[in-house]
Homo-oligomer: A and B are copies of this chain.
């Protein structure tokens, strides 16, 4: 006896798949959940795939074979990314956000789950085929963005600490020169966090000169893991010469003119039609 109707199974399938991005479910799993034959589930998956693609909300992928199954890949189209980043720039340009010293108050936006989810999906779309096995960030402001990127890619998140904490166990550290403050600082990673030889994606909220990012790259080298991608939400135009290369940044901050009350922030060139 089939407990659920076709449209109920398809809807349930979409709910479960999209709640668990990039998580591979076997056909057996859905077959048992819905008390339906595997052939029926296969047809349900075909319907689900069509719907998700029609409303541009990602991709449903089937992998055949004994270890196969079905999974949902978040995917943001260029048009949707552009619309979202334009809105984000609009919010960030609010002159009330200017902090003395030509900084922008952006914590409320970066921590907003609606923003972090979308940013995570944009990074996941861009780095989909990077082979990344871990997302790495450094405390504190990049954590929500890195967390949602890790969620969308279904890989673990690792947070580098700025102080040595007993709860991290034995750690590896590097000293680095913060490009902006010109001060020597130290960052720490738990020795248990990432096994040697793994591939990692570095995600952070902001880059100015790139000193911190260079520090992270050095720390990754120290623990013998490969950096396969680097993504920032924002970077500054100045200094033009960054300490790192091969990164992407979704937004670019040109100038904060405290006197005139204007913030010049734009989306990156790659998001133009």
Q: Are B167 and A111 neighbours in the complex by a CB distance under 8 Å?
A: no
CB-CB nearest in chain B for A150? B113
B19 contacts A107, CB within 8 Å? no
Q: Mark A16-54, 1 if CB is under 8 A from B, else 0.
A: 101110010000000001000000000000011011101
Given contacts A47-B7, A140-B161, contact A20 B114 (CB under 8 A): yes
User: Which of B113, B141, B143, B190 makes the CB contact (< 8 A) with A105?
Assistant: B190
Q: How far is the CA of A57 from the CA of B34 in the complex (A)?
A: 14
Across the interface, name the chain B residue whose C-beta is closest to A111. Answer: B157
Q: Does A158 contact B (CB under 8 A)?
A: yes
CA distance A237 to B113 in the complex (A): 33
A148 to B143, CA, bound (A): 12
> Given that A12-B51, A18-B19, A55-B12 are contacting pairs, would A156 and B99 also be in contact in the complex, using a CB cutoff of 8 Å?
no
User: What is the chain B residue whose CB lies nearest that of A121?
Assistant: B19
| Contacts beyond the supplied A7-B51, A8-B51, A141-B167: 13 A-B pairs with Cβ under 8 Å | A7-B7, A7-B11, A7-B47, A11-B14, A14-B14, A19-B57, A99-B166, A105-B167, A105-B190, A107-B193, A111-B157, A140-B143, A144-B147
